[in-house]
Every structure is written in C-alpha cells, then in structure tokens.
Amino acid sequence: MPAYLASASGLIKALKGASDPPQPDAPPKIDIALTAWKQDSFHVPRKAEVLRDWVIESWSRTHKKASPISEPKYHQLLLDTTPHCDTPAQAPLSIISSFFQSLPESQDHITLLDLASRSFASIYPPQQLSHKPEAWTDVYTSILHPLSLISPCPQLTPLIELITSRVTEALPSAPNGKKLSTTAAGSFPSFCKAISTHPSLTPALTHTFSLLLFQVPLLSTTDPLQPILSHLPTQNSHTALPLLFSNLVETYHQHRYSIFTQASSSIVAHDVFVATKEREAVRLALERILVKVEGDYSTRSSLWKTIESWGGYMEREPAWSQMMHSEARITEDALSSDPSLLGTLLDTLATLERLDHDQAKLSSNVVRWCLACPVSHRATASTVISSLLRFHQLTHSLPTFFSLLLDSLEGLFTPDLPEDIVTSLYKLTVDGPLTARTLRQDIIQSLRSICVGKGRTNVWNEILGSVVSRLTPLVNSQPTGKKRKRSWAPTTHAAALIGIHTRLICYCLLAASSTTHDVDATNASIPALSELIAGWANDNTDTFAGAVSEAGRLRTARSVEKLLSSQSDTPTPILQTQAVPELSIEMTRFIFHCAAFTQSINPKSVDALLDILQDISSPLWQIAINQGMPLLDSLATPTQLQRLAMLIAKRTTQPTPAILWDLPNIKDAVQSQITASPPDYLLLNACPPSYLDRKVKLHAVEATQDISLGGKWLDRLASEHDSSGLMSRDTKLLQRVVTIAATGNPSALSLLGKLVSSMIVNSPRNSSPLLCKRRSKSTSRRRRTVLTFLSYASTLPQMLDLYAITTLASPSIDDLDAIDNRNVLCKAGRWLGAEGEPRSTTSPLTLEAHQTEPLGPRLCAALMNASKSSNQSRLAQLTLETFATETNDIQKIIAAAIVVYSAAPGLTLDSTVQTILAGQIPEAIACCASIPASAPCLEILAALCMRCNDPTALREAVHAALSSTSDHSVIGFFEKITEDKASALQHDDVTRLLSVITESLSPLTLLSSINVITALARRRPDLILANLPEVVDVLAIMFSTRPIDALPLSRLLVALTQMRLKTHEISPLAKHIPAILVAYVRAAADLHLGVRRELEPGLYALCNLVTSGGRAHARGREGEGLGIPFGLGEGSGGEGERELWADLWQSWNKSRYMGQG
C-alpha cells in the first residue's frame, strides 16, 4: 500500500505538499483524493470535511500552470463529499472569478459547467451571510468579460442564475449602495458584450445589473443613467439601453412613493405630486437616452414601446408633447433614408400614434408608405392605419380619415411616374393593408357605426361624396363627340386611382347594405354615383389601364345595384379568357350578380369561365363556389355541366364546400363522370358519404383493379349500410383485397375486417365457394393467407368456418402501426371463431389456427415506462384494444384498463373502453364494483355507465362509487354520469354525495362539485329539494376567490331558482336563500371586483326568488332585514357585512329597472 494511503497523516501530507504529484512515481493529487474517498476501509477522521476543504484550498491558491478549478475531477470530488459534511464550507468568492477566467481555455467546458453549477451551489448555499454584498458584486462584474468570450450553451444558465440570485439576496443589506452602483457602471461595456453574446442569459444579467445600478435610495438624489451614458462604448451597446430603461421605469413606478417625497408645506394632493414627479423623472431619462442614440431607430422604437407599456404618458404636458412631436418628425423624415429601416420606423410611428394622435400628426407621406409597403412590413403598416382609423372613429371624424387616405393615394400615383412603376405600386397597394381582410372589416364596421337604423346619415353621404368627387374627373377625362376617333383608355396613374377609389366606394356601399333611405332627402351622393356609372365606358380593355378601369366600373355598378336592390342599365359583359385577372374577377362577379336577377346567363361566358377554371389555382374558383355554383347548376347546359364535373375531379386536392354536393344537376354530372372513366379515387374520396347512387357505387367497385389505390375509398364505402354487400359478393374484388391485406396495407386490412363481418351477418347471401391462397414474399413479414368461402348453411358453426389470416409474427412494441394491423387481424379471427384448434369442416383445405404471442402485457410495461409524448395516447388505446383481442376474460380486460388509466392519467380513453366492452357492459360494471373503488376504477365505471341502460347495473356502479375513499374521484364520477344517468340516483345517494362534497371541497374539486349540483338541479330537482339544508350548507362554502369558478357558480344559483315541482307554487328554496346570501357577504370582502360581477346574475336570481310574493317586506325596506335571523352582522366584521348586504340589495333593485336583474 502506498504511503499516502497508509495513514491519515500520510494522506494529508501528500495532499498538502507543494508538488503535484507528491512523488515522481505517484498519481496526481486529485486521483489520490478520489481513491481515498472511495475506499471505505481507509479511515480518516472527518474524511469528507478534509477532502472538501482541500479542494477549496487548492482552488484558492495561485497556480503557475492550469488551475485545478478547470479540472472536472475536483468538482466531482466536491459533490461527493459535501453531503457528508457536518459543517458548512468556508469558500472565498474569488473561486468563481477564477473559474470563469479559466473557462475559455477549457477543452470540455460543457461537462465542466454542468459539474461547476452543482458544486458551487453546494458551497454557496442561499441565504448565506458570510459574504458581503460588495464581494458578490465584484464576482458579478468580474465574470462579464470572460462570459463574452465563451460560446453560448445551456449549461451556463444554472451557474449564472446562481450568481445573480446570490447578488439579489445580498443587496438589501449593502451599507454603501453608491459604491456598488459605481462598480456596476464601470462594467457596462462588458455587460453589453455579454448580453450580446448570450441572448438567453439577458433577462437574468439585466435584472441584476439594474438592481445594482438603480438602487432605490440613490434614485432620488442622483442621475442613474449618467455613469453609463457619459461613455457609451460602441453602438452595439445601444441594445442594452432599452432593457435598462425599462427596468428603470419599472423601479420608478414600483417605488414612487419612497423615491419622490413631498414637503409637508405642499398643498398639492400627494398622489398628484408623486405621479408628476414620476413622469418628470421618466421623461428626463428618456431625453438623455434619445440624445445618445441619434440615428439608432431600433433602439428609439424600443424606448417608446416602454413608454407605451408604462402608461404614464401625459398629452397635456408641454414637455412630453414637444418630445413626442420631435420624435414623430425625426422618424417620418427617416422614411426615405434606408429601405431596411422601414419596418422599424413604421413600428415607431404606430406606437407614437397610439400614444398621442395630436402630436404624432401622421401625414399623407406616412400613409403612402403604409399603403404600398413591402410584404414583410404589411402587418406593421396595418397597425398604423388601424390606429388612425380607431382614433377618427372614436372622435367622430371619419371624413378626415378618408380625406387623409385620398390625399395619400393621389400623392402615391402621380402623373410623372413611369407606367411600370405605377403598375408595381398599384399591385403593392391592392395586395397591401388597405384591402386586407382585417382592415377592410374595420373600415366597413366604422362606416356602419355612423348609419342610424335604416337611414344613411349626412356623415356617410359626405364620405361617399368625397370619394365620388375624386373619382369623377378621372372617369370623365375621356374625349367625347366627333373628336374621339380611336379607342380610349385612361392613363395608367388614373386607372390605378380608379381601381382603389372604387374599392373604397364599395366599402361605403357595403357598410350601408342594411339601410333603405337617406336621412336627409337632399343628399345626392348615390344619384351622382349612378350618373357617373351611366356615362362611364372603356373601349380598350386589352391594356392594363383599360382593364383596371373597366373592373372598377363593374365593381361599383354591382355594389350600387346591391344597395338599391334593383338592376340598372349597365349591360352584362361577356367573360373573356385572356382578360387581365382583375377584370376577369369583376366580370365573373358581375355576371353572377346579373344572373341572380335575370335567371339567365350567356353560354359564352360559362364556356370562358370553364376555360379559366382549368387552372385549379385560379381565384375564380372561389368566386364560382361562393356565388355561382347554384346558378351554374340551374342555368348551364348538360355539356357545360360535364366539363364542370371534370374540373371538380381535377380540384379534389383543394377544400370543397358542402354547397357543391347539394346541387342535383352537378351531382348527376359528377356521377356521369365517374361511370364514364376509370375510377378517380381522389374524386371518390372527396364525395360525401352516401352521395353516390347504388349503380354508380357498383360500377366503381367492379372497376377497381388496384386495391392499394382504391382501398381507402372501399374501406369508407364498406361502412355504408348498403355498400358492404356489393363488395362481399364480388369474388374478384375479394381476392384482390386479401392479396393486398397480406402485405399489411392498413386500408386493405380494415376493409377485409368489415367485409368478413358483413358476410357473417348476411351469410345466406354468400353461398358461392371461393379459395384464394397466397404467400407473402416479404422476408420481414412472413405470412400465409388462406381465405375459404364455404357453402353457407343455416347453422352458426358452418357460418364460422371462414378464416382469414394465419401465423402472424409478433410486431415490435415501437411499431404502433404493425400492432394496429395485428389487432385488426385478430378481430377477424375472433369474428370467424378461429381461436385455438380449427373447426372440423367439409372444406378440402385444412385451416390453420391463428397463433400469436400475447402482446398485451408487453404493451402495459411499455406504457408504464414511457414518458408523456405525442404517441402516449395511441399507445394506451392500442394496449386496451390488444387485451380485448387476446382474451375474452372481462376481469383481465378491466385489470388492464386500470393499469392503463393509472399509467396515463388525463387521456381520453372512455370511448375505447366502451367499444371493447360493448355487449358486456353490465358484466364489466359488476366486475369493477367487486374490486376496491380506486380513482382509475371509478373513471372506468363512469365510462361504462354512459353506455349502460340496465338499472341494476347502474345502481351497482353508484354504490361502488360512494364506497370509494377518494373523494375527488367520487365527485368526478358523478360529474360524468349525472347529466345523462340522473334517473339512476336516489335520495340516499345524493345525501351521501353532498356529505362527500362538503368534506372535500377545495379549489381542486370546486368546479366539478358545481357541475354535479347544476346537473341535478336540471335533471332531478326533486332530489335537490329533498336535501335543501345540505345543499345550502354546500353553497355557503362555494364562494371562491378564483374568477374561473365565479361564472359556473352563478349559473348554478340561477338553475336552483328555476327548479319547480307541481306540488309547490313557490320553490321551497326561497326560505333558505337568506342563508346563502349571508354566506356571500361574509366572503365578499375577499372577492375581487371581477368575481363579484360574474356572480351577480346568480345572486340577483336568488333575490328575485326570495322577494316573490312580497315576503321580503316583513322587516322594513325590501331585503333589509332578511339576513338578521341568519346571523347577519354578528361576526367580527359585522358593520362591513351590513354594508355589503345593503349594497347587494340596492344593486339588485337598480338592475330590475335596467333589464339586467
């Protein structure tokens, strides 16, 4: 044995020596220490403390070579020994600084960080007072520079959180806060680099830096930002300023009463004085930062967002208004400087607009940028326009908003712009915020709000007139008379304005769709618009400008006719296949609009539409589906309907609305398309269930050659009651189904099971013999499929001599699809009675039994060991289904279900349990009732009760549930069954249930308890009225402080007041209501205002019931003395109870006259 392990003194001498290793042939000191620790037979007094203190001492020394603090073995030894130490460690904080300084040179710093975070936590426990705040501050500032040199990794987070939490704990006891603030300010450059390198650590580092820099005692006497603003290192440091400013504002607001003290001689209200000082301090800090970050618009945007979230901006203060106005002008002037800044600048302007519209004064220049902004900035641009719209709507100045829009459009499309630029700007504007669904609905809703009833107001007419007045010179600029010798179209810039102005007109007309007349008969905006449309014509629609102008004419004419509910003299155009897309869209809409009036449509237009619809991505598809399909169904020719059916078949990959399948002529065309060509399975799958006629189905079934393609449709078809027989009598189809099923195809397997089930049920129809035998060539799934159809006689054994698939290999636990397939095959064998030895049969073939290895127990084990994942629900479902396919023993299935419910709580497995135990539910309930009623057992019982109609079984389940010791599970059981199976409950059941609720009521069970009593009040009021004292006792303790519980409780109170029995003219509950109301007023002192408001409907319903018949007048004013016999005001807060009682009755009395009681 080496000398260093011979005795305790030898070990200490070896570890304390100057050289490492202690002898030339000896191992390093850390290996010696680890060996000594691991040898239990080597006795050293206080061995754990000796080794721990040696590690700390080694880290504290200065080393010429690499420090041992970067060796993972030292950290591991510290972790091993510290739990066995009786005395706390005395570790200097310089260890942490040394660790971070050595970390950039470490080879495996990820492993080292993981160990260090745990080892440092063991020697620097929380609430340790042995280290001063100054020392922790020095540690924090010293790690910032080394931290900026380390690449980001998740293992840094625990260590940084340890340091920042210790600084936060030590800071309140700091005697010299100014010194700590100065120290933190000096490390500001390193702090900026650190948060730039490690974004995930930014919240923790910034919070601690702000605590050091913005100490509350210093904020009233010093400028907190001066130390860092006086020498900003680089522009990269600007990213830290919004974070620090946000924390400073939060500190000002949170500690405003201690920071801003008021002189005793001041006559200003204290709250007003403090709020004014807070705003002044925030404003000065913002001014100082804005001066330093000139040109950094991203930082400026973040700063103003902080002001918005703070909520203390004051529009009436000149200093704030001046700063706001200056910021808005700086931001607006920068819009044309750098395209990459557009999103940031628009975001800033949106913030400024929300803060102060009058000072932001967003001009038409800003709106122009918003209207034609790039795709990436449309969301921000929409926010700007929405803010403007909301302000003008609230201030009843919508005409000003539309004037701003129109001025911006005219400034956007100027005559001096080249045509290609105008075209690009027009497309940007049309696809931009102005036509986006959200902003369009907001504009229409704001216009609708100014229409009174059925009348169109003067303001609405003013807005429409302003748009029409801008549109009129653009339309009337065409030459007239004999001088007009060639086709004419407007200029490109005029056409662009026409296209957008007509959209605004449509918004106005759509908003007035429910009106019938003008409030002022002298308003002439609609007649002027109708006159404009009558004289509006375009000869040349082949050009972009002419097409856009014509589309605008049709758009406007259609909107006017819809508003007036009459057809004008505007001729119906003929759709052209080569038209500009915008014109094609408006032509199609106008054609369908006119067809709805005249019930006729030009065949040329229909042919052109069908030509365009060859492109399944055409926007005309949506117009045709939403507006034109009923018209095409009744007006198109048979040939056109056949073409439409072919197009529908091509478009089956797109969502198809239900209206398409309800049209009879289109249905005939679709069915003709199916019978006239090989089966199109995309179309067949798109057709709704039972959509096709029987002959069409038969044709498609007979034409099916490739089961791998048609299996999904056939599987769905087999579920229809009139279709499974069609397939089961097609022997060729059955051969193909079995062949594909042998390869494991899921659709074919499911189809095979349904066909076999159908043949067993309808055995007399299946009398033709068929033999099909196939060996699978797959080496991974060796299967043999034998399908035998015997001559079906009238006896059950002969019907069960049909057997499908044999010798399945047991699938892997992880292959859930294979397990599902295996269960399908096992079910087929169960249906056919092919379990164990084969039946004797007259068939010339010998049928092999279906031998499979039991898989259920393995799945249970896998489920219990599996963590929560997306596959857990499916694994639990397959476990139950597998047990059901492998055994008929109900006890085993119930035992497996209990295991599954225990291993996977919270999953919705009720439908699976109901399916696998269908036909045996009373027996399953009896099985569950015979075992201890645990929580999983009660969940299974509740699921079974929902599908049980046997009164005896239901009573057995109720008795089993009430015998459970898990009160929460009992309440959950009754919550599930009471709504549908309330008839199974008796008086004693409800008495015991109310006792359980009273004893176990908690936030966890409150909502379920409310639901149970609500269901009883609706379904079995007799049981509630028979147990009124107990119900009242429960209600008295149900007033929770949580808002989530208030609304259901209010609904319960309403339901209780609506209970009526023929034997009672007035509900017996009335005499118990004062007790409930007294319980409420006693709890109301702890209830939030929002909770009280949620409870008002229920409380008012109680007041209505107790005052019915004049009984509440017995003690003075209405309701005043009702609570006195029930102890109102007798508690410690008696006066408060009486005030709340009076407030309740007064508010109820007012509500009766407002229609809310």
pLDDT tens-place string over residues 995-1041: 998 888 888 888 999 999 999 988 888 888 888 889 988 988 888 88
Instruction: Please enumerate in sequence order all residues whose Cβ is within 8 A of that of 146, keeping only pairs 6 or more positions apart, or say none.
Output: 100, 101, 103, 104
960: tokens are 């089993």
Handedness of CA 602, 603, 606, 612 (dihedral sign): negative
Q: Which amino acid is at 656?
A: T
State residue 396's pLDDT score: 92
Give me Rg for the CA atoms of the chain.
Answer: 41
CA dist., res. 1013 & res. 1024, Å (int): 8
Instruction: Please enumerate in sequence order all residues whose Cβ is within 8 A of that of 165, keeping only pairs 6 or more positions apart, or say none.
Output: 126
Q: Which of 194, 181, 161, 182 is nearest to 251 (CA)?
A: 181
CA dist., res. 262 & res. 269, Å (int): 10
Phi, psi of 541 (to 5 degrees): -100, 10
Lowest mean pLDDT among 394-408, 426-440, 871-885, 1115-1129: 1115-1129
State residue 290's pLDDT score: 93
CA 613 centroid distance within chain = 36
State residue 71's pLDDT score: 87
Q: What is the DSSP string of 357-393?
A: HHHH---HHHHHHHHT--GGGHHHHHHHHHHHHHHHH
Burial of 559 (0-12, 13-18, 19+ CB in 10 A): buried
CA dist., res. 473 & res. 471, Å (int): 6
Phi, psi of 979 (to 5 degrees): -65, -40
CB count in 10 Å sphere of residue 294: 10
Instruction: Please enumerate in sequence order all residues whose Cβ is within 8 A of that of 363, keeping only pairs 6 or more positions apart, or say none.
Output: 332
In this predicted structure, the answer to whether residue 329 has a pLDDT above a threshold of 60 is yes
Lowest mean pLDDT among 279-283, 492-496, 965-969: 965-969
Residue 171 near residue 134 (C-beta atoms within 8 A):
no
CB count in 10 Å sphere of residue 956: 21
Instruction: Please enumerate in sequence order all residues whose Cβ is within 8 A of that of 977, keeping only pairs 6 or more positions apart, or say none.
Output: 942, 945, 946, 957, 984
State residue 543's pLDDT score: 85
In this predicted structure, the answer to whether residue 781 has a pLDDT above a threshold of 50 is no
In this predicted structure, the answer to whether residue 829 has a pLDDT above a threshold of 70 is no
CA dist., res. 1015 & res. 996, Å (int): 17
Beta bridge partners of 518: 456
State residue 724's pLDDT score: 62
Q: pLDDT tens, 1081-1132?
A: 888 877 888 888 899 899 988 888 888 755 555 344 556 677 778 777 776 6
Average pLDDT over residues 728-744: 68
In this predicted structure, the answer to whether residue 858 has a pLDDT above a threshold of 70 is yes
503: tokens are 């959209």
Lowest mean pLDDT among 195-209, 355-369, 552-566, 865-879: 865-879
In this predicted structure, the answer to whether residue 367 has a pLDDT above a threshold of 90 is yes
State residue 621's pLDDT score: 85
In this predicted structure, the answer to whether residue 894 has a pLDDT above a threshold of 70 is yes
CA dist., res. 786 & res. 850, Å (int): 11
Most confident of 64-78, 206-220, 847-861: 206-220
CA dist., res. 423 & res. 427, Å (int): 6
pLDDT band (50, 70, 90) for residue 838: very low
CA dist., res. 563 & res. 512, Å (int): 7
CA dist., res. 435 & res. 504, Å (int): 9
State residue 1066's pLDDT score: 65
Exposed e or buried b per residue across 446-472, where buried means at least 16 C-beta atoms within 10 angstroms of its C-beta: bbbebbeeeebbbbbbebbbbbbebbb
Q: pLDDT tens, 652-710?
A: 767 777 777 888 998 899 888 888 888 888 888 888 877 888 888 888 887 877 777 77
State residue 780's pLDDT score: 31
In this predicted structure, the answer to whether residue 4 has a pLDDT above a threshold of 70 is no
CA dist., res. 214 & res. 538, Å (int): 70
CA dist., res. 167 & res. 716, Å (int): 66
Q: Name the more confident of 777 and 524.
A: 524
Q: Which of 832, 844, 764, 843 is nearest to 797 (CA)?
A: 832
In this predicted structure, the answer to whether residue 419 has a pLDDT above a threshold of 60 is yes
Average pLDDT over residues 115-119: 91
In this predicted structure, the answer to whether residue 5 has a pLDDT above a threshold of 80 is no
Residue 47 near residue 12 (C-beta atoms within 8 A):
no
Average pLDDT over residues 895-923: 85
Phi, psi of 307 (to 5 degrees): -60, -40
CB count in 10 Å sphere of residue 1016: 27
Q: What is the DSSP string of 165-176?
A: HHHHHHGGG-S-
Phi, psi of 122 (to 5 degrees): -80, -30
Q: Which of 760, 750, 691, 706 is nearest to 728 (CA)?
A: 760
Lowest mean pLDDT among 379-388, 555-564, 898-907, 1132-1141: 1132-1141
Burial of 836 (0-12, 13-18, 19+ CB in 10 A): exposed
CB count in 10 Å sphere of residue 397: 13
Stated as kind and residue range, the H or E segment containing 533 is helix 525-534
Average pLDDT over residues 741-757: 70
Q: What's the pTM?
A: 0.64
Number of separate helices (H) and strands (E) present in the chain: 59, 5
Lowest mean pLDDT among 430-439, 1031-1040, 1130-1139: 1130-1139
In this predicted structure, the answer to whether residue 407 has a pLDDT above a threshold of 80 is yes
Residue 971 near residue 1009 (C-beta atoms within 8 A):
yes
In this predicted structure, the answer to whether residue 335 has a pLDDT above a threshold of 80 is yes
State residue 387's pLDDT score: 94
Average pLDDT in the chain: 82
Q: What is the DSSP string of 805-860?
A: EE-PPPPPTT-HHHHHHHHHHHHHHHHTT--SSPPP-S-SSPPPP------HHHHH
Residue 163 near residue 200 (C-beta atoms within 8 A):
no
State residue 849's pLDDT score: 37
High-pLDDT (> 90) share of the chain, %: 31
User: Mapped to the 3 state alphabet, what secondary structure does 1093-1110 carry?
Assistant: HHHHHHHHHHHHHHHHHH
In this predicted structure, the answer to whether residue 306 has a pLDDT above a threshold of 80 is yes
Cα dist from 1093 to 416, 926, 928, 1147, whole Å: 62, 47, 44, 11
Measure the CA dihedral 894/897/903/909, to 10°.
Answer: -150
Residue 935 near residue 944 (C-beta atoms within 8 A):
no
Lowest mean pLDDT among 82-91, 501-510, 796-805, 923-932: 796-805
Average pLDDT over residues 273-295: 92
For residue 1085, give the 3-state DSSP assignment.
coil
CA dist., res. 923 & res. 935, Å (int): 20
